[in-house]
Structure 1
Amino acid sequence: MTVKKRRVYGAVASMMLAASLLGACSDKESGSEYEPSANADKVNETGMPIVDEKIEVDGFAAKFFSSQDWDNLMLWQEFEKMSNIHMNWTTVQTDALAEKRNLLLAAGDYPEVFFASAFSKTDLIKYGQQGVFLALDDYIDKYAPNFQAILEKYPSVKQGIKMADGKIYGFPAIFDPGFDSLHLGMPWINQTWLDKLGLKSPETTDELYEVLKAFKEQDPNGNGIQDEQGWGTGYGIKYLMDSLKGSFGLNKQGTMNPNLDFKEGTEEFRFVPTTDEYKQMLQYVNKLYTEGLINKDVFTVEIHTFAAEATKGNFGMLSDIDPKEVFKLDDYVGAQVLEGPNGDRQYTAVSNGLGNLGMFVLTDKAENPEAMVRWIDHLYGDEGNKMFFMGFEGVTYEEDAEGKVKYLDTITNNPEGKTMDQAISEYLTWPGGYYPGIVTQKFFQGAESKENSVKNAAQVKPYALKQEDIIPGLNYTVEENDKVSAILTDINTYIDESIAGFITGKTSFDKWDDYKKTLEKMGLEEYMEIAQGAYDRTQE
C-alpha cells in the first residue's frame, strides 16, 4: 500500500479544469445565508449516535473494485450502527465516474450526497453558485469540529478550499502536511556504489553530475560489463526535475501552482518556465540526458516497464518510493538536497497537502445536511480516520499496548493470494485513492511510513519550504476559469513539447527567446493577470 508520489503531486492534477455542463440550472440565488434544515433539531451536536432516530440518506459514490457491495460492506455497516444513519448507496467504478455523475447533474436526477466523486473546482463553483451544491461554511463552523481543527492548524488548507466567492462547497482529501515522509524526499542513491567507488553523496549539482558519470563508467557493480545506468524514473521528466527546482531557485511557493512563484521580495507572480533559472535548469538536465546519465526513455516510459528495469538494480539513482519497498533493493538511501550553481539549496517540491476539493458534496436535495456534516466530519478525526484506513480490531488490524496499529497477516500476506488492496477492500473503500478525509502517519501503513522514508524526509526537512510559504491552488470564477482553461491548454502543451526539445537537444537553446515570444502570443500576459487577481483576492 502506498500513496504514490504521482498521486500526491496528483494532488495538483486533481484540480484539473472540467468541461462545462449543460443543464442542472437553478433559480436559487448564490451565496444565500445558512438556514437550519427542518431536521436540524434532531441532530445531536456531539457524540454518537448522530441522530437518535435512524435516518436514510441517498448517496452516490465512486469505487475502485467492481466486486464491492457497499450496502453490505463492514465499514458502512459499522458506521451505521454508530451514527444511526443508513446510506442508500449508488456506486460506479472510478473509470466511469465523470460520465455518470455529470449525467445525473445534467438531468437534475442527483442524490442528497456525493461521496468520493472527485468534483473539479470548476464544478464546485459552478454548481455552488447555482445552489445545487450547498455552501458548507456555517455547517462546518457548528457541526465539523475535527475538520475545523485541521483548518485552524493549516491556514493554507483553509485558504485553498475556499472558492472564488469565498465559500466552501466540498470536503477534500488531505494528505497531512505534518506527515513529513509523505511530502519530503529526495531521489534514492545507491550507497553501495558510492562506497565501492570511494565517493560521498553529492551535495551540489556539479557533484551529482560527476557521481552519475562515475556510476555509468566505473563498473560499481563489479561485473565487468558497462550495464550501469545513472538516474532513472518511470514517472516522466517533470517528476525528475521537481527535485532539482529548488537548486535553481524555482517553485519558491511550492507545487500547487507549478508554473508560478513570486518575484524576489514581492508577492507578484512570475511565470517559472520563462525565467533564466528555468533555462539554466534545462541546460543542466540536457547535459545529463545527452551524456546518457538519465534513462533515455524518460519521455515515453510506462511505470510498469520502468519497474521491471529498475528491479535489476542497475540504476545509481532512482526517483520513486523507497526502492526497498517497491523493488526489494537494499542498497539505496535518500540523496542530499543539492546546492545549485547560484548558491540555491532548497527543497521546493512541496504542496500544502490538499488533494481533490470535491470529494464530499451535499446537494440542495439533502434533507439532513447537519447530520451529514457530522457524519463526514467523523472521518477527519482520529477515531473515524482509524476506522476508515485501518478497519476493525481483530478483523483487519491489531493494536499493541502503546496504541500502535498494524494490519493483520490476513491482509498483508493474504492466504488466498490477494494483494493487500484486494484483501482490505473486502472491508474498506480507500484503495484507489478516491475519498474525503485525511491521510495521517498514525493510521497510514504505506512505504512513506517506513524507516527509510522517515530518514529521507528528516534529511530533507532543514531545506524544505515552510508551510506558510506555500500558496494553495488558485481558485477562479466561472468566467475566469473559461479563459484560463483555453489559454493553459495551448500553453502547457507547448511547454511540454519545448521541454522535450531542449533536453534532448532537438531544439537549440539559441531558440529560447523564440520560445518565450511564442508563449506571449498564446495569451500568457492575460493568464498572469487572471492568476494574480485570483491570488490577490485571497489576501483581502
Structure 2
Amino acid sequence: MKTIKTTALALSVVLTLGVMSGCGVTEDKGNTAKSDEKASRNLNATGFPIVNEKLKLKLFTGKSPQNGNKFEDTTVWKEYAKMSNIDAEFQLVPFESLTEKRNLALASGDYPDAFYSARVPVADLMKYGSQGVFLKLNDLIEKNAPNFKKLLDKYPDLKKGLTMPDGGIYSLPSIYSPEFLPMLIGTPLWINKNWLDKLNMKEPETTEEFYNYLKAVKDSDMNGNGQKDEVPLSGMFGIQTIQRYIGGGWGFGNRGAVAHPYVDVDPASNNLRFYRTDPKYKEVLQYMNKLYSEGLIDKEIFTLKDTALYAKGEKGLLGAAFVPHPQAVMNQKGYVGLGALKGPHGDQLFVSVKNPIAWPGAFVITDKNKNPEATLRWMDHFYGDEGATFYFMGQKDVTYTQKPDGKLEFTDEVKNNPNGLTLDQAVAKFTTWPGGSYPGYVQEKYFKGSESLPESVDAGKKASKNLIKEMWYSFNYTEEETAFMSSKGADIHKFITETEANLINGTASFDDWDKYVANVQKMGLDQYLSIYKAAYERYSGGTR
C-alpha cells in the first residue's frame, strides 16, 4: 500500500488547523441520522443480507492511479453486493482533482448519499456536520456499527480524535492499529548494512556515531565505481523528515512529532511546550546544519521528488534513507532499520510515528441518504476481522491462503503474477485498497504491504524500545480557534519552516537565534499556546 504522501509543511499545517468554521446548528436542525419507517422495516439488525429489498447507494469516491476504473467490477464489491443486497455506485474522482470537486459538490448541494475515500478534512466535518449536511453518527454507531463501536471502546483516543468540539462524530476513519508500529512509522530510517560491514562499524546508536558513519560514507568509495558519488543521507518528504527524527535525540516531539510538530510536553514542568523555539532545539538545527554543510545530507533534499530519490537508490548510491522499504521501492537489499538515536544529553526517543487516524473523514453519510442505518451497517462490516480480511486479501484459496500457523499469504497469482503484474496491479483486480484513504481498520495480520515485510517488522521492534510513552491524536478546534490557527497560526508555521531551512542550509546565522525567537513571540505565540491548551483540555476530557 502506498502510505499517505504530502510535504512535511503541508502535513503540519493541515494537522494543526483543525476545524473550519461551522454554523453551530443544534441537533433539532435534523443533523442526527434517522430513517423513515419503510427503511427501518427493510433493515435486518444483524447478519446478511443487510436489507431484504435491494438498495442502491451513490458514493462520491476518491480514486488513486493504482485503482481500477470501475470499483463495481472488482471481486470485493461484486461479492459484497450479493452478500449485503446493497448495490454501490462509486462515482470516481481522481485524487489530484478531489478537493476541488468535493468542495464544488458541497457548495452546490449536488452530492450523493455518502462520501467514500474522499479525504473529507476535519474542517469540513465540523462545518457541514453542524449544518446537518453530514449526519451525526453517535447514536447510529451505538445501534448499527458493532465492529466500529468495539474499536471506539478499545481505543479511547480514537473517539477523542473523531469527536468534534460540538460533541458530534460525523465520519468513519481510515485507522491504523496502534499496535501495528511499522505502519505508523511508514518511512523508517534505513542504513546500508553492507557498507557498515565494509567500514567495520556497528549500527549507530547515538547522534555522534550516526554522524561518523555518514562522514565515512562521504569520504569513501563505498560502491566501488571510482567516484565519490555516494549520498550519505536522503529521504522522502524533505528535510523535515530527517529533522523530526533527529529531534528525538534531544527529547522533542514526545507526544508524536508527526501529528504535533510544534507542541509537546515539557518533562520538567509537565506543561505544554512550543518546542521549536526552545534553546535546546537550536542544537538540533545546528546538528542538521553540520550534516548539510559537510555534504552528508542530499544536496537536493529541499526539492527532492520520490522518483528521483528512488532512482538514486536503484543506482546503489544511498548510505541511509527514509523510505517505506528499500527493496520494495528501490529494489535494494542489505539495508536494516534503525531505532532511536541517543543525543548529547542522554535523550533517546522515537517520535516519528503517525497519528493512527490516517484519514478522519474517510466515510461520511449525507442528508441525501434515506437509509443511514443500512448504510452504516454496510460500511461497518469492513471494521471487523471478517470484512477487513475480505477487503485486503480477497477470497480464501483464490487470492490468498492460510498457513497452518494461521498467517495469511497472497497466492502466486497475486504475489508472483504470471502476466508480470506488480502486486498493486494484481490486487487492483479484486479490491480497491491500493492508494490508501479507504475507510477501514488496518492490522498486520491481514495487511500485506511493505510495512508487513520482515525487515519492516524488525525496524518496528527497534523503534519500540524507545517509543514515546503517550501518543496524542490530532486535536480539533472551535470556529473561533480555527480562525486564528488558519491565519496567524499558519503564518507562524510558515515563518518557522522557512527560517529553519535557512539555518540548516547556512543562508541564515545562528547568531540571530534570539531575534528569531522574539519574532515568533510577536506573531502571537502566547495566543497560539492558549488555543492549543484549550483543544488539549477538550481532547483529554477536561472540558467540552
Which range, TM-score by smaller chain? over 0.9
Residue type at the aligned position of 2:425: Q
Corresponding residue number in structure 1 for 2:211: 209
8 Å CA contact 1:156–1:352 kept in 2: the answer is no
Q: Which moved more, 1:328-337 or 1:254-263?
A: 328-337
Report what 1:127 is aligned to.
128
Distance 1:12-1:388 versus aligned 2 partners, 3 A rule: farther
Contact 1:63/1:434, CA 8 A, preserved across alignment: no
- 1:277 is matched with 280
Give, in whole Å, the separation in 2 of the partners of 1:162 and 1:144: 16
Aligned to 1:88: 89
SS where residue 441 of structure 1 aligns? coil
Partner SS state of residue 330, structure 1:
coil
1:188 is displaced (CA, Å) by 1.4
Q: Distance in 2 between matches of 1:420 and 1:447?
A: 11
Q: Which amino acid aligns with 2:496?
A: I
User: Is the Cα–Cα contact under 8 Å of residues 339 and 350 in structure 2 kept in the other structure?
Assistant: no
Letter in structure 2 aligned against 1:40: S
Percent identity, aligned pairs only, is 40
The CA deviation string for residues 115-151 of structure 1, in whole angstroms up to 9 with x for no partner, is 1111111100011111111111111112112112222
Using a 3 Å threshold, how does the CA distance of structure 1 residues 121 and 167 change in structure 2: closer, same or farther?
same
- Aligned partner of 1:507 in structure 2 is 508
Report the CA distance between 1:236 and its aligned residue: 0.6
- SS of residue in 2 equivalent to 1:442: coil
Deviates more, 1:333-342 or 1:7-16: 7-16
CA deviation map 1:341-360 (0-9, x unaligned): 11101111123411111111
Instruction: Determine the structure 1 residue equivalent to 2:154.
Output: 153
Matching residue of 1:248? 250
Residue identity in the other structure for 1:53 = E
* Post-superposition offset of 1:26: 7.9
> Contact 1:2/1:448 (CA < 8 Å) preserved in 2?
no
> Which residue of structure 2 aligns with residue 258 of structure 1?
261
Matched residue, 1:433: 436
Aligned to 2:70: 69
Matched with 2:531 is 530
Equivalent position of 1:518 in the other structure: 519
Matched residue, 1:227: 229
1:201 and 1:236 map into 2 onto residues whose CA distance is 24
For the aligned residues, what is the CA RMSD?
A: 2.7
Q: Which residue of 1 aligns with 2:351?
A: 348
Instruction: Please give the residue correspondences for 1:387-406 in structure 2 after superposition, counting only pairs within 5 Å.
Output: 387-406=390-409
- SS of aligned partner of 1:264: coil
1:87, distance to aligned residue in structure 2 (A): 1.9
How far the C-alpha of 1:12 sits from its partner, in A, is 6.5
Equivalent residue of 1:140, what SS? helix
Return the offset for 1:403. Answer: 3.7
Query: Is 222-231 or 133-142 further displaced after alignment?
Result: 222-231
TM-score, length basis structure 1: 0.92
| Aligned residue pairs, count | 537
The question of whether the paired residues in 2 share the 8 Å contact of 1:348 and 1:464 is answered with yes
What corresponds to 1:486 in structure 2?
487
| Aligned partners of 2:17 and 2:485 also within 8 Å | no
Are 1:60 and 2:60 counterparts?
A: yes
Compute the displacement of 1:8 (Å): 12
Aligned to 2:44, the other structure's residue is in SS state coil
Matches within 5 A, 1:74-473: 74-184=75-185, 186-254=188-256, 255-266=258-269, 268-466=271-469, 469-473=470-474
Give the match's secondary structure for 1:280.
Answer: helix
Q: Which one-letter code corresponds to 1:190 in the other structure?
A: N
After superposition, the Cα gap between the structure-2 partners of 1:28 and 1:344, relative to the gap in structure 1 and judged at 3 Å, is closer
Shift of 1:247: 0.7
8 Å CA contact retained: 1:257, 1:474: no
Distance (Å, rounded) in 1 between the aligned partners of 2:43 and 2:270: 45
Distance of 2:231 and 2:93 partners within structure 1: 43
| Native 8 Å contact 1:141 1:148 kept in 2 | yes
Unaligned runs of 5+ in 2: none
8 A contact 1:11–1:353 mirrored in 2: no
Any stretches of 5+ residues in structure 1 without a counterpart? none
Asked if the contact 2:18–2:475 (Cα under 8 Å) also holds between the matched residues in 1, the reply is no
Q: Matches of 2:88 and 2:208 in 1, distance apart? A: 58
Higher mean C-alpha displacement, 37-46 vs 271-280: 37-46
Over residues 159-206 of structure 1, what are the superposed CA-to-partner deviations in whole Å (9 max), with x where a residue is unaligned? 111111121101011111111222247411122222222211121111
| CA distance 1:446–1:409, change in 2 (3 Å) | same
